Every structure is written in structure tokens, then in C-alpha cells.
Amino acid sequence: MEHYLTSTPDHLHWGLWDGRLSPVIRIASGDRVTIETLSAEPDEALDLASDLVEPLGRGNIDASHGAAPRLLTGPIHIEGAEPGDVLEVRVLDVRLRSDWGWNMRAPSAAREMSLDFCCRHVPLDRTRNIARLPWGRELRLSPCFGNFGVAPPANWDRRKPNETTGFSGHIDNRDLGAGCTAYFPVFVAGALFSAGHGHALLDDGDAQTSAIETALAGTFEFHIRRNLHLAAPRVETASASVGASIVNAHASQGRRRRTN
């Protein structure tokens, strides 16, 4: 069965992964869900005076604002998923929803020197699949989600979306776009899958402090796998199988990937 999950405030949760959240939709194993996501905090979102396309979801961003970054859509309850199972998530499609993105950068010594961060809005051409930088250069886009996964155990404290652990969370790996398949150990009934933190283009390790962040829509297909036993997530691409300990592109040594 096909489902569509909009990025309205009642479908969003800001700044946390929590196994006690109530699901916004219930689906069966084998179903597909297209998930709308939003990006930006109120200070980074465009206002109505912008000469870019009218800000997508600005009201939803303002209405959903929370105490921590990363706006997530969900959670989705997969009927029959229980702790000890594995949730297979096939990323079938990832596409842009907006004609603008944003990038935040800072000098390398910003923290030590108390320098201001610089937030720049970047026009996106969805027809040509490129970003146009202010000095004229064009970059080919490769959209992916920086956060997607299942809920942590219900007895854990809330986890911020910039954390990465056994339920997934902050992934930020540009290879994990359309065509990849992720496997998540299930910790709570229904798995409670969420996605967000969209990137139009991500470099290796967020060297610019952020990617070109933007609103995305992704189509995911969910399968409960009881023949697999995992202690941590794994992701398969066309060329590699990536373990949870190295799936995060923010590792201190930069980008690392192991092929099994």
C-alpha cells in the first residue's frame, strides 16, 4: 500500500529521537511511504520578502520550533515490528521540494575567536538539478537525508538528532541517497521510523559546517526482517556495505567506509 506523509506541524517533531513518541501513521510491512521533510530553523528560513520562491512551509517551521536543531517527520509505526526484529528500509527516491537551500559556514577558528557564523541562501534549479552559487559556479545536486532511523529504547533519555548510536540518528553520508537500503535493529514496538535533515548536496564531513540544507521528499519501503540479527544499523549501497560505527561522515578522521 502507498502512503503520503505531509510535513504539517502535527507530523513533525523537532530536536529529538524518543521511543515514547506517539506515531503519526501506522503501516504494514511491505508498504511504501512518501515522506515530506522541512529544513531550517526560524533564523535560517526565508521570509516572505525573499526574491526566491515563496518559502515552503515557513509557517510549519515556526509552529514546530523546538529546543534543538533538526526537524524530523514521523514517527511511523510498522505493524508487527517488535524489539529484536530488524527493519529493512529501502530508499526508493529522494527529490527536492524547494527552489532554495541554505548553507552555514564559519572560519576554522570560529569557536576560539568567537567569530560569527555566516548563513547563505542558495538558489536550487530542480529542473537542471543544480545549485547556483553567488559567484556563478554551478554544482550538481545529490539529495540525501542526514537523519533517518528508528526510535531508541523507550527507557532511554531523549536523544538529539546530532547524535549517532544504535538506532541511527545523525548519518550525514552523501552516498546514502536513492537506491540504498538500510537495516535498523528495532528497540520499541512498531519501530517508530522518522526522517529529516534534508541535504541537496553534502560534502565529505560537512567541511563547510553544514551541507546545502533543504526540504526533501523521500519514498521509503519498509520490511520487517526476523531472519536478521543486528546490534547496530547497516546500510548497503550499490558498491558497499557500511557499518554503524563508520556510517557517520563526521568521524574525526574524515570520511571512512568499509566494504565487506
Q: Give dist(CA 74, CA 222) in Å, integer.
A: 14
Pure H helices in the chain: 58-63, 110-113
What DSSP character marks residue 9?
A: G
196, three cell numbers = 529529516
Helix, strand, coil shares of the chain, percent, nearest 5, are 5, 40, 55
| pLDDT computed for residue 247 by the predictor | 43
Residue type, 26: R
Vertex 57: Cα angle to 53 and 58 (nearest 5): 85
Distance, in Å, from the CA atom of 110 to the CA atom of 104, rounded to the nearest integer, reads 12
Looking at the whole model, is its pTM more than 0.85?
no
pLDDT band at 36 (very low <50, low <70, confident <90, very high): very high
Given CA atoms 42, 48, 50, 56 in this order, what sign does their dihedral have?
A: positive
Q: Which three cell numbers stand for residue 69?
A: 536543531
pLDDT (tens digit per residue) in 161-177: 566 666 666 777 888 89
Share the mean pLDDT of the chain: 80
Question: How many other CB atoms sit within 10 Å of the CB of residue 20?
Answer: 13
pLDDT 10s digits, 104-156: 765 554 444 444 556 688 899 999 999 998 888 999 999 999 889 999 998 88
Q: What is the pLDDT of residue 254?
A: 35
Q: Give residue-wise pLDDT tens across range 43-88.
A: 667 665 566 666 667 777 776 666 556 789 999 999 999 999 999 9
The proportion of the chain whose per-residue pLDDT surpasses 90, expressed as a percent, equals: 43
CA angle, 157 then 163 then 166, to 5°: 75
Q: What is the CATH number of domain 2-105+114-246?
A: 2.60.120.580
**Cell numbers 537495516 correspond to what residue?**
183
Cα within 13 Å of Cα(255), Cβ side: 10
Residue spans of the domains in the chain: they are 2-105+114-246
At 152, the amino acid letter reads: P
Binned at pLDDT 50, 70 and 90, residue 38 comes out as confident
DSSP-assigned letters across all residues of 109-156: THHHHTPPPEEEEEEEETTTTEEE-TTS-EEE---EEEEEE-PPPTTS
